[in-house]
Amino acid sequence: MKKISRLWSLSLLLVGLALVLFGCGGGSEETAEPASGSDSDGGGKEKLVVGTDATYAPMEYMDNNGNIVGIDIDIVEAIAEEVGVEVEFKNIGWEPLFPAVENGEVDFAVSSITITDERKETFDFTDPYYVAKQVILVKEGSDIKSFEDLKDKKVSLQINTTGHAMMRDIQGNTSSNIIAAETMPLAIEELLNGNADAAVGDNSTVNEYIKNNPNVEMEVIEDDSVEQEFYGLMVKKGNTEVVDLLNEGIQKIKENGKLKEITGFDIE
C-alpha cells in the first residue's frame, strides 16, 4: 500500500513537473514582450510596412549604402519603439504612394505629407508631427520676391504636392507655365538648367538643398503670407487601429521630448 502510494505521488510529481515546464514554454512564447526598442529579430512584434518617397532630403532619402534614412524615418522609428511594433520601409515613390496606401500594399505612409482637406476625403491622417511652409527657390538676384510674383513665371515643382496645388491656385489649373516634375530634385534641376524661373517646394527640403549646394547661386524666398502646413502619417481610410496606435506613439514622443530631439523644434 505504502509503496503504491509513493509511486503514485512520484508519477503525479512528474506529470506536474512536465505540465509546468510545458505550460511555461508555451506561455512565454505568447506573452513575449518586445524587447523595448532593440533587437530586430521581431520575435512576437507586429510589423508594419511603411511606404515613402525617399527623394526628399533631409526628411526621407537614400544614403550612400542604399538605406532609407532621414528625419521622417527617425520619427517613425521612435514612434514604433514607443508602441512596440516593428517597421519596414519601402521606397515607393511619390505618386504611387497614394494608391499603395489605398490598396493596402503598405500599412501607412511617411513622406513629409501635408494634411489637407482634399486628402482627408480619401485617407486618414495621424495628428500632426511637423510644421512646414512652401518657399520659392530662385537664381540669386531674381526679381521674384513673393508668390504673387510667380503669376506669369515658369515654375517647377513636384507633381501633386501642396506646392503644385498652390501654383494651380495662383496660375489657374490649365497653366502651361507649371512644370510638374516627378521628384523635387528633378524640379530643382529645371530651375538650374534654365527651363524654370523658380522652383516651389517645402522649406524642409529646399533649405537643405541650399545648405548642401553652397556654390549654386540660388536663394530661398520666404513669403510671410503663406500659411503653415502640418505633416501627418497617412493611413488607409477607416483603419482606425493603425491611426490610434501611431497617435499614441506621436503623443508619447511629443511628451518625452524625443520628437523635438529629432526635429529641433516644438510642435503644439
Please identify which residue in 69, 92, 113, 166 interacts with ligand ARG, judged by CB under 6 A.
Answer: 113
Smallest separation, CB 119 to ligand ARG (Å) = 8
Q: Are strands 46-52 and 108-109 parallel, antiparallel or unpaired?
A: parallel
Pairwise CA distance, residues 51 & 62, whole Å: 13
Amino acid letter for position 156: S
- Which residues within the stretch 80-99 sit at the binding site for ligand ARG (CB under 6 A)? 94
Q: Binding marks (x or -) toward ligand ARG, 205..244, rule CB under 6 A?
A: ----------------------------------------
Of 92 and 221, which CB lies nearer to ligand ARG in the complex structure?
A: 92
Of 56 and 89, which CB lies nearer to ligand ARG in the complex structure?
A: 56
Of 78 and 167, which CB lies nearer to ligand ARG in the complex structure?
A: 167
Please identify which residue in 79, 114, 235, 250 interacts with ligand ARG, judged by CB under 6 A.
Answer: 114
Which residue in the block uniquely carries the three cell numbers 496606401?
A: 101
- Which residues within the stretch 241-260 sit at the binding site for ligand ARG (CB under 6 A)? none
Paired strand residues for 227: none
Paired strand residues for 88: 49
Q: Binding marks (x or -) toward ligand ARG, 150..179, rule CB under 6 A?
A: --------x--xx-----------------
Q: Does 111 bind ligand ARG (CB under 6 A)?
A: yes
Smallest separation, CB 172 to ligand ARG (Å) = 19
- Which residues within the stretch 31-70 sit at the binding site for ligand ARG (CB under 6 A)? 53, 55-56, 60
Smallest separation, CB 251 to ligand ARG (Å) = 22
- C-alpha cell, 129: 508631427
DSSP structure class, residue 133: -
Task: Please write down the HEC assignment for all residues of 82-133.
Answer: HHCEEEEEEECCHHHHHHHHHCCCCCEECCCCECCHHHHCCEEECCCCEEEC
Q: Are 87 and 95 a contacting pair, CB within 8 Å?
A: no
Pairwise CA distance, residues 66 & 244, whole Å: 31
3-state helix, strand, coil in the chain (%, to 5): 40, 20, 35
Q: Are 137 and 191 a contacting pair, CB within 8 Å?
A: yes
Question: Could you list the residues that contact ligand ARG (CB under 6 A)?
Answer: 53, 55-56, 60, 94, 111-114, 158, 161-162, 184, 202
